[in-house]
Structure 1
Amino acid sequence: MFAFCCSAVAAYFYSLGAWLVLPFAGMEILLIGIAIYCQSCCAHSQQIIRIDSKHVRVIDSGRVETEKCFHKSWLKIIRNRDPKGWYPSRLLIGSHGQFVEVGKYLIEEERETLAHNLKSAIEGI
């Protein structure tokens, strides 16, 4: 729809004799298309946290699917907060110096709920 509107405006100005509008309209359509594609790729990523009796697995299915496995008895859940409150907090899961950030795109209340639910799920199994 955006490409159609942009092309229609460019065609109108071309008909008036302003032919120099066409390359810029084409670049605008291309850049907006690339931005929409990149946003679409990021929107389809997800994190899955699987908890069993001995291990906690964090599966991140972004562009490249990665999986981290941590032993449950050594697991630490860390919530780093910015002291000045300018930046969002970070929720980290890991052990032995290897940590994975989970809930990166959540708002603060959801991240706090996730941290509480993870702690209770890990202690409860």
Structure 2
Amino acid sequence: MQSGSNWIVTAAHCLHYSLDSLDPTPLDLYLLSPSDFKIIVGKHWRLRSDDTEQHLTVQHIFLHPMYDPKTFENDVALVELSQGPVLNDFVMPICLPERPPGEGAMVIVSGWGKQFLQRFPETLMEVKSHGDPG
């Protein structure tokens, strides 16, 4: 097991209930509790089980301190697992840069999000982009 393998990087908007944009209630009251969900790694098909899956429990969640749920600015969070996964051909750590990537750097993101789709995809999606951090 590698150091740091009990952490998951995700979007902050995945870790809270829907917010009414007019509601002044603090975001903390809408946060999911670690017991409200589990992390599944090694999954490819969204609606059926894969024999490569590992089900993990959550110990803590940490949203970016400047995350804004109304604009999605700083939409990033860390999830600390109670126990890290077994690393294998289907579960491996991501490589984070030591400093912010420069303009035009290749960025890869994966997930089951439906931002530009009418419905959730059936399999894990991946997008590659030459991003502009500004």
Larger radius of gyration: 1
TM-score (norm 2): 0.20
Structure ranking higher on relative contact order (CA contacts 8 Å, 6+ apart): 2
TM-score (norm 1): 0.21
Instruction: Give the helix-richer structure, 1 or 2.
Output: 1
